Structure 1
């Protein structure tokens, strides 16, 4: 993964904050990053917006390490005149072998892709309702979900290599998503291998088991990392950039319903 990005970009996070002291703590964290050129913090909306070339995954990790709930709400280029090279979205809405069987209640997810420049694709993924622990995340070669994950084909592997991690394995190998005890998980990745124009129309699958990243000797590890059956999948579709489509799922603040539910749920847990 690149340590910094060539083009200045904008990332918006939903961050759990309850008072001015929280704002001060978040400010201190962000000031540690020399590649953040500008940021704003809105306590009432629990929103942090950042502009710069610091990788969003690093910022997200630092904010989470402070003990706060953090969800990436959007990514895009900071200068609208620069534009981006493409954007896509994957809504997880089918699973299993039965094409009529929809996601069980409580399970949902969304992945967003923004090609910030020709070399770098920013990916953020959030899921709800999975069992705690690590789950493999992969882009598959086919966009056929008529039989759920079983009809999505092999991992996207245009370089014809063995399965591995996001730096040296299949282009579609994105490592693992870690789900907490409440069933929520998110993953933020900067990839110099994935290009939005190469993955639109393909599918994304989250697996039942942890991906061993191809580090074991048996053949299955070199094939799919022993990550097991798919439990969530969806087709990757072209979309507007993160700050170009102003449609709001939740009219009060722009969160998707499952993002809103997470913030409410975590707040209740914190108050107990």
Structure 2
């Protein structure tokens, strides 16, 4: 009860401080802003592919059943355990609808011709609802369900330098986004978390350097990397679930080149609770042994928080995958 009261007070404070920024951003988008709906609570261990979550708030129980059914059917059909695990999350790696977010980029633009070129690449993208361009600050804002991977690729096609500088919902959250960077030597990758509502987080990830096949991944309790993944503790489990901990993210499947991509959501995950913890990658789908790589989860800028020029000394590389 006390925790709930504190969370409500905290949220009211955030709303008071950020109201002007939210109104200004909505005005910049031409009044077309539609906030992602709140999703009804479901067991916090539910990592749902985007095609199971969609934007509906109801049916959390049916989503869990659908996920379990996929695994059961895959195993009953004689699929290996790794393939059966992947069956429960594979829908999130395709073109399914993600929850709506605002994503901001710093883009090298010098004239209205640059603005036209950027708009021409972004506006036709599936899932893009609105694009606004601030030429004076060289900021491009994209509202919609399109994944970061698709937006970044479109900006790359313009031939202009672009850096992701902020992501989040225009609803008021204290920490609306976080990022994890794996720097090698073998495994490289970037994982982004963005708060959609108080009970739903959007997750996007890209990894290279993995061995082909299934790899478990999880949010672990500690950000201690003194012994790599071995010193990051158990999987994050704030509610002491007996079954699947909240920090269990299921499994990624790397292709023959060692690349794995993910785009989906996690019910019950709050970005503010993740800062300073670690994200671990495992050699196989089995998480009963220590991971093979880990990185600390760091706070990243929300929308409207990072309108400064970027240079090599202020963390630019963290946005590059």
TM-score by structure 2 length?
0.49
| Structure 2 CA distance for aligned equivalents of residues 170 and 88 of structure 1 | 20
1:137-192, CA deviations, whole angstroms, 9 ceiling, x for partnerless residues?
Answer: 100111111111111111011222245xxxxx210011112222222212223122
Unaligned 5+ segments in structure 2 are 1-47, 58-98, 106-119, 133-139, 151-163
The equivalent of 2:217 in structure 1 is 137
Query: How far off is 1:229 after superposition?
Result: 3.6
Query: How far off is 1:244 after superposition?
Result: 3.9
Q: Secondary structure at the match of 1:197?
A: helix
- The answer as to 2:101 corresponding to 1:9 is yes
Q: Is the 8 A contact 2:225 2:231 kept in 1?
A: yes
The equivalent of 2:143 in structure 1 is 51
- The answer as to 2:186 corresponding to 1:186 is no
The higher radius of gyration belongs to 2
CA distance 1:115–1:229, shift in 2 (3 Å): same
TM-score by structure 1 length?
0.56
CA distance 1:89–1:133, shift in 2 (3 Å): same
What RMSD over aligned residues (CA atoms) do the two structures have, in Å? Answer: 4.1
- Between Structure 1 and Structure 2, how many residues are aligned? 197
- The answer as to 2:292 corresponding to 1:241 is no
* Aligned structure 1 segments of 4 or more residues deviating by more than 2 angstroms: 5-8, 10-13, 36-40, 48-52, 73-79, 82-85, 241-250, 254-259
Q: Is the 8 A contact 1:128 1:258 kept in 2?
A: no
The equivalent of 2:272 in structure 1 is 197
The equivalent of 1:96 in structure 2 is none
| Structure 1 CA distance for aligned equivalents of residues 166 and 215 of structure 2 | 24
- The answer as to 2:293 corresponding to 1:232 is yes
- The answer as to 2:167 corresponding to 1:92 is no
Unaligned 5+ segments in structure 1 are 14-22, 41-47, 62-72, 94-102, 164-168, 212-223, 260-272
Q: Is the 8 A contact 2:166 2:305 kept in 1?
A: no
CA distance 1:256–1:236, shift in 2 (3 Å): closer
* Structure number having the greater helix percentage: 2
| Structure 2 CA distance for aligned equivalents of residues 110 and 141 of structure 1 | 19
| Structure 2 CA distance for aligned equivalents of residues 77 and 136 of structure 1 | 26
Q: Is the 8 A contact 2:169 2:195 kept in 1?
A: no
